Structures are given as structure tokens and as C-alpha cells.
Amino acid sequence: MNTKLAGCLVNIERLNNLMDQQHLSAVVVRSGVNFTYLSGIAYPGSQGRHVDFSDSPREVYVIWPREGDPTLIIGDVAAPRAKRDSWITELIVYDDYEQTAVHATTAALKNMGLSASRIGLEKTVLSAIRWQEFQQSLPDAEIIDCTNLMNSVRWIKTPHEIEIQKTACDILDRVYIEVFSQATVGETERELHSRIIQGCISQGAEIVHGTLNVSRNNLLYLGEGDTEITKGDVIRTDYVSYYRGYPGHQSRTFVVGEPSPELKRSYQQYRDVHRMLIDKCRPSTKANEIYRLADETLFDLGFGHVGSMVGHSIGPWFHQQEPLLIANCDVPIEAGMVLAVEPYVGFWHLQDLVHVTSDVPRLLSDLFDTDKMFIVG
């Protein structure tokens, strides 16, 4: 393994400490978030579905032993990319559709002398059949769920992870500014959406997804359509732009035409609450305290109650990760976390990625000035 490269992104010390606490000889990961995190490979395009479909014939695994080098189990179609991009040098390549990744993985564990060890496996992403196959193939092993352990490892980012995520965020904000500034009355949601996607790709993003809606279209998150922009519209966005497997994930809002005093006041009130929540992202604050602050403050201001979530952690591969900023999550915030703060209400939706430090919270991108309403036309 290229330890220097892996150590830039993987929080190896934290992973080792948590494995020791649970007396694990190895963790075996399968999910997209943990496969990307431990292998350094961001699956491209449609191939990405194979890392998250529980019974994919092209599934992938990473064996990360407490002692020794990790091993990557991957199908022959994706093997060339693994050899090019991964810091893991020990590869076991199986024949897609002809062999099973579980067989290759359990055989590797036996060869590593771990067949009778305590092993962590991601129970939440494996089908019941796959879990059973592991148990049957390793009858002398003690297999436990390592989902929460891996979540906890990824919570705390390395400096290099922060650097990559900042680049991803800057790409998205630059595109927002460019596309918003050129938006015109008569354009459709779909046309604006396509320009955001194209803009991010042209600036170095690998994968981009998201949605955009005008305030007259109440089908939020059901996809942009042919609704045309008119004077008075508020345009709400929510996009994720991936760079080297890590997401930039901000939401921005702009207004078409000169807004009314009431609309300006509404935005400023909402913006002040958003800033308040960002400032609350400090060590020892609990996730549900941020949620309650958002819900109570926005309700008192007349916006109504927020939805079931006002933010979440964020990391490689999938943008929405634990801990979630929800009512029943009492996980303490820690220095080193990156949190997406997004208390969306009505047609207002601002979202920023916040790096929690031992000092003050820091925005990963400050290119887009949200202190003032973005007005076009």
C-alpha cells in the first residue's frame, strides 16, 4: 500500500483506534462511501451503481486488516481503474458474472490468516443472502456489524480531505455565479439545470447531480421541467458536484426582477438564521441542538416548522452521511467534521459546507456572497 497517499485521505490513526476498541482484526467494507474512502477510487458514471447495489454481480470489497496491508477485491472490468487510481497495491481480480466477490473475499481472509478472527462487516449494506454467505464461508470467525465504526471514522476529515472538498465547493459556487448572472426571463428550469451540470463538468467535476425549481413549481425534488422563468420568481437550487470522489454541496437561491420589500426582509431573516446555525457548529454542541434552534427560531419568525432535517455530515461518494442534524440525533459535534447546514423552508434554501474547528466554524467556499439577495434581470 502507498501509505503516504492513503494517509492523506484515510484517517488511519482513528480507524486503528476504533478497531482496537472493538477488538477487530479486520474490517471488510462494501458500501460506496467506505469503498471510496478506503480505496481512493471514485467509480465513474453508471458503473457507480455496482458499489451500492447489494447483490450486484460486479460488487467490490476492501479488506482493511489491523496489521498488514489492505486488499482490494474487484471485478475484471473495473480492475484497470483500480490499478491506476487506488493506493492499495494488493488486488484480487475476479471474473465478473462468472465468479462471486464474496468467495474471493472470504478466500483472501483465509489466506491472510483471519478465518477465525473477529471481523467487522457492513451489515446495513449487505443483503441477507450475502451476510449468510460470509457466515457460512467463515464459520470460525466472529462477524459483527462495523457500520457505525466506519461512520465514526469518516466523520473526522484529514487536512487533505478538506482541501479536496474545498475545491469541489469552489467549482460549484463559480458555476452558480456564472449561470445565475446569465439567467434570462423565458429560460426553462431544464435549460438552467443543464448549464449548471455542464459548467461543473467543464471545470473539473467528475459527477454532478441536483435539482432546480422556480417558486411557482411546487414539485420540489421531483425534477426540473419546462416551467419558464418569469419576473418575480425565486429560483431554488440543490446540487452536488464531485471532485476526486468528494462532493461540493451548496444550495443557492436567486430572484428574478426587483424583489418587494417584504421578500427582501424575508430573505434577510432566513439568512440570519442560517448564519446563526453555522456559528452553532462547534465542538460539544449536539446535532439535535442545531435542529431545535433552526426549528424554533424559524417558527417564531413565521416561517413555520422546518422539515425533518436541517443538515448532515458529508464525505466521499455520497453527500448525505451521519451524523444527521435531526431531532433525535444527540451525537456531539467534533472538530474536524464537515457539516452541510441547510434549514430549507418554503422557497428559501441556502446550504453551506462548514468545517468544524477547535476555534470558529469555517465555510469551505466563500465565493458566493449570500449576505445579499442575488438578483437578476
Amino acid 155: pLDDT: 94
Q: Name the packing angle between helices 147-155 and 32-39 (round to 10°).
A: 50
- Smallest Cα–Cα separation from 353: which of 196, 241, 204? 241
Under 8 Å between Cβ of 318 and 33: yes
Q: Name the packing angle between helices 189-202 and 159-182 (round to 10°).
A: 140
In whole angstroms, what is the distance from residue 241 CA to residue 351 CA? 14
Looking at residue 86, the DSSP 8-state letter turns out to be: -
Amino acid 32: pLDDT: 86
CATH architecture of structural domain 159-376: Alpha-Beta Complex (3.90)
* In the chain, domain spans: 3-155, 159-376
**Model-level pTM greater than 0.75?**
yes
DSSP secondary structure letters along 316-353 = SS-S-EEEE-STT--PBP-TT-EEEE---BTTB--BEE
Give the residue carrying C-alpha cell 490468516. 113
Give the residue carrying C-alpha cell 444550495. 251
Strand order in the sheet with 311-313: 321-324, 311-313, 338-341, 352-355, 362-363
Helix (H) or strand (E) run with residue 149 in it: helix 147-155
Amino acid 55: pLDDT: 66
CATH architecture of structural domain 3-155: 3-Layer(aba) Sandwich (3.40)
In whole angstroms, what is the distance from residue 331 CA to residue 122 CA? 20
Provide the residue count of the chain. 377
Cα Dmax for the chain: 71
pLDDT in tens, 166-179: 999 999 999 999 99
**Mean predicted lDDT score pLDDT of the chain:** 92
Rounded to the nearest 5°, which phi and psi values hold at 361? -65, 145
Residue spans of the chain under pLDDT 50:
none
- Smallest Cα–Cα separation from 163: which of 313, 9, 41, 312? 9
Tell me whether the omega of the peptide bond preceding residue 323 falls within 30 degrees of 0, making it cis. Answer: yes
DSSP-assigned beta bridge partners for residue 312: 324, 340
Q: How far is CA 202 from CA 145, 188, 214, in A?
A: 40, 21, 25
Amino acid 201: pLDDT: 97
Amino acid 317: pLDDT: 81
Q: How far is CA 142 from CA 31, 41, 138, in A?
A: 20, 29, 8
Under 8 Å between Cβ of 320 and 31: no
Cell output for 296: 424554533
Under 8 Å between Cβ of 245 and 308: no
Distance in angstroms between the alpha carbons of the first and the last residue of the chain:
55
DSSP secondary structure letters along 106-125 = HHHHHHTT-TTSEEEE-TTT
In whole angstroms, what is the distance from residue 233 CA to residue 125 CA? 41
